[in-house]
Amino acid sequence: MSAEHHSSLLDAVKGQPKQVWITAFAAVIAFMGIGLVDPILLSIAKGLDATPSQVTLLFSSYLGVQVIAMLVTGTASAKFGAKRTVLVGLTLIVAATALCAAAGSIEQLVGLRAVWGLGNAFFIATALSVIVGAATGGQSGAILLYEAALGVGLSVGPLLGALLGSISWRGPFLGTAILMAGALVLCAVFLKSDKHEKREPIKLLDPLRALKHTGLLRTSVASALYTAAFFAVLAWSPFVLGWSAIAVGLIFCGWGLCVAVAGVALAPRLAAKLGERHAAAAAVFGYAVLMLVLAVPSKPVLVAGIIVSGLVSGLLNTLFTGTAMSISDAPRPVASAGYNFCRWLGGAVAATLVGHVAEWFGSPQAPFVVSAILCVVAGALLSLREKKADPHTVPREAVLVGEEF
């Protein structure tokens, strides 16, 4: 990161009130949930006598419910207020994670992950508005804090899952439940009530109506295709590696750090040179090349490819968001919800089918090859000329909650 970026990060963390830090802490725990199960997929499969295809449903149910819930979280927050929406989300996460630790079958675990996804949708769709509303130093500093929380969560999740999972696959779920229960208590005590504030209503179908804009629809579909490839890496590579929870956790910890650094420090620079959409197109073509590298039947190559893919994912997370938020005239919260609906739908479908793709083609490398093809299609969609000029900035306010992970 540049000296200027370090300075802005320091400025963002100075003198923030308690409720900003509490919400940021809860956000870290929420984002940990994405990679938490990654190192323990093999342990879960063994402990519950489940097939790889059944175990990857842990991602599918989590993301699938989150996809649908993203369409209603804006409406809920506008009606009930940010604090109550956050507390409902955290309560659902605490209950789901605690029950996950006691699950007796893969079917129970998949169902509880769905409840976890619902809670996560309510929380992450509201957390940034809480941080922005309470933070000192302006909106850009608040969003920088959120991005930092995202990066820490993505990095620590696999590591915590590995450490606790080396004892038992139930450990990471119990640990998350305890941490999130603490966050729930802190948020209930310290977040300010906003039940009397006036809020603009958001209609349930507004996010889908926003997708009538051709540019936003094309960007959202391209992001869905990329996200499908992303989850091929996240959900399938542990099975290809076949290593211990600690080894997989360390690999994905490095991956998460790369996601954070690239998203915060590198993406704005690339967008300044090429424009958001063109930079996203270049990056997704690069991701296609990386998918072919991952298809090489060599575990050292696979490890290197996973970690490097974190850099490209960090770029794409921010660049896709910036493109989606600037390409249409829809209000940003509405455009964000429609975009995220498509994006996470791609992840949910991929996590469901990735094991089956390997079975259909009779090769553990097949999901990576299919992912490369999807990324090429995504790059082609982004390369189509738009009538509107391509902005050469990534609006910091565009990186809304739920758009990253």
- Sequential DSSP letters for 143-202: HHHHHHHHHHHHHHHHHHHHHHHTT-TTHHHHHHHHHHHHHHHHHHHHSPP-TTS-----
Question: CA 154, CA 96: separation in Å to the nearest integer?
Answer: 20
For CA atoms 403, 261, 370, 352, the dihedral sign is negative
pLDDT tens per residue across span 36-95:
777 888 889 889 999 888 888 888 898 889 888 877 876 777 777 778 888 999 999 999
Most confident of 161-170, 228-237, 281-290: 281-290
Q: What is the pLDDT of residue 9?
A: 47
Identity of the residue numbered 80: F
| DSSP structural state of residue 396 | G
Question: By the 8 A CB rule, do 290 and 303 touch?
Answer: no
pLDDT tens per residue across span 335-376:
777 888 898 899 889 988 998 999 999 999 999 999 999 999
Q: What is the pLDDT of residue 271?
A: 85
Q: Which CATH class is domain 3-398?
A: mainly alpha
CA distances from 45 to 15, 70, 294, 343 (A): 46, 29, 23, 27
Question: By the 8 A CB rule, do 230 and 343 touch?
Answer: no
What are the domain boundaries of the chain? 3-398
